[in-house]
Amino acid sequence: MALLFPLFGLLMLSVLIETRNDEEGLARTLASLVGAAVEGIVRDVIVCDDGSTDQTHRVADEAGCTFLSGAGVAAGIAQAKCDWLLLIEPGARLLEGWTGSVIAHTAKLAMPGRFSRDPASRRPFLARAFSRPTALAEGLVINRHQAQALSKHAASAEAIARGLAARRLDGLIIVASKS
């Protein structure tokens, strides 16, 4: 931890979460970001909502997030305050230590990065075999300028992440469960 402390001032992330009627998933994801916000890594969280009818707006508001109703990911990217973005699905949870891998990655590479799946939360074989993973399941750390360019032709964060080459980060993620 002492090695990373001087680097904290160098990297700040804007987090973008696209959601629709997933207040519980949003709350779980936001809870996993609290430590990074306290450390100064997460500067702002932008929730791009696609017409939720549940209490998603209230969860975002209580957590101090910027809530964009009916706005796409391009609007969220435009509002981001940092040069690096973390795009993540509601319900996904980043595990302790993820910030160190993001700091190391962004310090030396400009390419996007994806987190490694937590082996302890691995789903059974048949569940994996008969489900289609999303491109955003492992999150995406991406430079804001690259995200802006990709968002011109992509309607969602999922579309930005799809087919994008990315480096595997050491930080672990528990993938959002799909109901």
Q: Phi and psi dihedrals of 174, rounded to 5? A: -95, 115
CA 106 to chain centroid = 15
Other beta carbons less than 10 A from residue 95's beta carbon: 15
Please, what are the domains in the chain? Answer: 5-174 (3.90.550.10)
pTM: 0.89
CA distance 151 to 167: 20
What does the mean pLDDT of the chain come to?
Answer: 89
Other beta carbons less than 10 A from residue 141's beta carbon: 25
Q: Give CA angle at 87 (49, 109), nearest 5°.
A: 160
Q: Is the pLDDT of residue 1 over 60?
A: no
Give residue 135's pLDDT band: very low, low, confident or very high (50, 70, 90). Answer: confident
